[in-house]
Amino acid sequence: MPHRSRYLFICTNRRPDGHPKGSCAEKGSEALVDALKKALAARGVANVVRACASGCLDLCEIGASVVQEPEHVAYGHVTLADVDAIADAAASGHVVERLVVYPPGGPRGDAPLETKA
Ligand code: FES
């Protein structure tokens, strides 16, 4: 398969029950991978945008976490209700501004963003 123009990395890390950091998997991220793959395929862009299961993105506190590259944005608190918006945005080279989070004290990002509600 060719290298894709855009990637969605979905953290599917799972920690033991009761772990203080929690994990994205316990917040439903495993279902997000399948749902995003299906949503991208339904839009006919699976050969352009790839949804991939990922290990911990070190954004545990805002999980379920999804990183979109090359826009270099992190989405937080993602649920299945957000899948269509994420797929629509990724398919068109935009981001879902309402889901974008930034590391505490960190920069807003170093790449210009086009936004889509
Ligand atoms: S467990 Fe998902 S970002 Fe760390």
84 part of a folded domain: yes
105 part of a folded domain: no
pLDDT one-digit tens code per residue, 15-45:
998 899 999 999 999 999 999 999 999 999 9
52 part of a folded domain: yes
The whole-number pLDDT of residue 17 equals: 87
Q: Is 60 in the pocket of ligand 1 (CB under 6 A)?
A: yes
106 part of a folded domain: no
86 part of a folded domain: yes
Q: How confident is the model at residue 102 (pLDDT cuts 50, 70, 90)?
A: low
Q: What is the mean pLDDT of residues 67-73?
A: 92
Q: How do beta strands 6-11 and 66-69 pair?
A: antiparallel
pTM of structure? 0.86
For the CA of 24, the nearest atom of ligand 1: 2
Q: How many A from CA of 81 to the centre of ligand 1?
A: 19
Per-residue CA distances from 25 to 11, 12, 113 (Å): 7, 5, 28
User: How many structural domains are present in the chain?
Assistant: 1
